[in-house]
Structure 1
Amino acid sequence: MVSYRYLGNSGLKITELVYGNWLTHGSQVENDQAAACVKAALDVGITSFDTADVYANTAAETVLGEILAGERRESLELFTKVYWPTGPKGANDMGLSRKHILESIDGSLRRLQTDYVDVYQAHRYDHDTPLEETMVAFADVVRAGKAHYIGVSEWTADQIRAGAALAKELHIQLISSQPQYSMLWRVIEGEVIPASEECGLGQIVWSPVAQGVLTGKYRPGEAPPAGSRATDYKVGESMIQRFLTDDVLTRVQALAPIADALGLSMAQLALAWVLQNSNVSAAIIGASRPEQVYENAKASGVTIPADAMATIDDALGDIVERDPGKTVETNPKPGR
């Protein structure tokens, strides 16, 4: 069964593998298949689920809420997010203004069929809204009982420190950061993780298998497999392109014997690798088939020996992205 970890310095325990439905529910996967994947997650002991209002333009929340409706709410940890536009994309349908936050939480709760979420996350940093306004609105969400804790996603170290200071003043708990993190994408290690440790946040990392590249299914000099994310023109193709060079793919293939020696699949190795970081509370997994959930769950509780961690670094060499400035690039630019 999947193990639990504390989320940051809080008393909240979450499963170290979190089931996420970014690219699947409400869009790429039929509802009955989505239900089968969620049931598989529950079967292996995953009780933490991550979604967002923008995923499939609110449909992902709706699907997840319907699937989990029969489960004991107190035994689940539900995370959702606010920032990106949904609906008709009106003037106030985006960002972290008080108006958008307070309206968005009500919509998310309605779709998720629950009275509260465990962690309500700022999906990006909003340069156009004063941070004080954003944090006061989050505090009011918490005090209204609509969320227990607050989190952020893809915030820089300075933004995390500023948000944490305001949260402390407002007596609410900012406990999580949700960044991209994998063997290939380590941009949070230099600044975001030290700031998070300082402020008591834990990481709930997304794309721990680098959009599937770290499974080894993409091979240098070969076309991407039919039906893979690299062929999905809607979302996956654009995000995965940075990893689809022959140099990267050749280095990734060198991980196969390391995984074999540890009795792991390459996907399990990638998941276990991010979980070795003491500031990582959980890795988000997605699935289009329940079999993927059962396989990924085997990464929970795995300890990769220090010599194998060093061998992984040697195999990947200089293809690893470590530039902390890449986090800034994910922030939407000011629009004022």
Structure 2
Amino acid sequence: MKRFTTLDVSSPPYSSHHYPGKVFDFVDEIIAGGVRIEGMLTESLTGKSAPEFSGLRGWLNTPPLTVARLRGKVVLLDFWTYSCVNCVRSLPHMKMLHKEYAGGPFVLIGVHTPEFEFEKLPENVASAVKRFGIGYPVAIDSENTTWKLYGNQYWPRQTLIDSSGMVRWEHAGEGDYDKMGDRIRDLLKETGRQEESKDNARSNILENFRFMPNTTPEIYAGTLRSQGFGNGQVYEPGSRTRFIDPGKHSRDMPYLGGDWTQFPEYVVHATTESGYILLKYGARNANAVLGASDTKPVRVDVELDGKPIEKGKAGADIQWDSMGSFLLVAENRLYDIVRTKDFETHELKLITKADDLRLYTYTFG
């Protein structure tokens, strides 16, 4: 049996990755150039023994598992976080792999590793697992301990471990799901289980992400990774500031209107008077990680190019009433706002009178 020891970081247009700010500009430049990305992991573990799980705050859908006790099984680790759009788009493929190979010597484990503070709470992870209909085991890695042991830097990432406990394949980003299935089958054959070769029919029934050149990059709002706002005025992080919209807007730059305060992870609306966040972007899909400090739902009116969003362009979280299109932000999570079939350029405006609406980040596809 041919052994494979491959670090596979997918290339556009078949994948997209969610990166921390410290490597984002470098990676975005590579993606824009359309070249294959290699060696982006802090440390590749391919060909080495898989580290034991460590520092977990709990498990969902299973009693606690260990790498040692999983010997004899092929194990796929999917590192993800529930507010990452790239991870969310990969979940149907993970669920299909779980369904296809469950019952044999194969285990798929979602390792939930947070990007934001609110994602650290086990109850929030449990809510997300239920919302997405995930039935396979999920490890709650709230302090990023296991994430670091596996040399990770971004979401999503998959690590495939053979029945002897050795890391045999690593992959970052979306895409290559058929290749992932091929690798799983190869390792299952090594255990003595014969798997018939599958064609591409199973993955073709799911939407595969296609990277579109010139897509607006992820835009963070908090001081930790923000590139600033387009208002062109001086403001002090942590202090309430009245932002004046200059009226002319550059693409890929957020603009604030009204009173806002910037904190490390987010910017928050600071008054019950009307305020807004405006962004001119280019993409097929537009999403935002939003939240509120209170448990009471917050209304956010949504305009696309100065008008309510048409139903043919609305994301799954958009609602309508006599006043127009809106979101109800009831929890800290990713909100699906705009979906179009083709790449388009629009001005997206989020308007609120709530004094605790938080914007963490915009993501696009």
Q: TM-score, normalised by structure 2?
A: 0.26
- The alignment's TM-score, normalised by the length of structure 1, stands at 0.27
Q: Relative CO higher for 1 or 2, CA cutoff 8 Å, sep ≥ 6?
A: 1
Task: Indicate the structure with greater strand content.
Answer: 2
- Report the structure number with the largest CA radius of gyration: 2
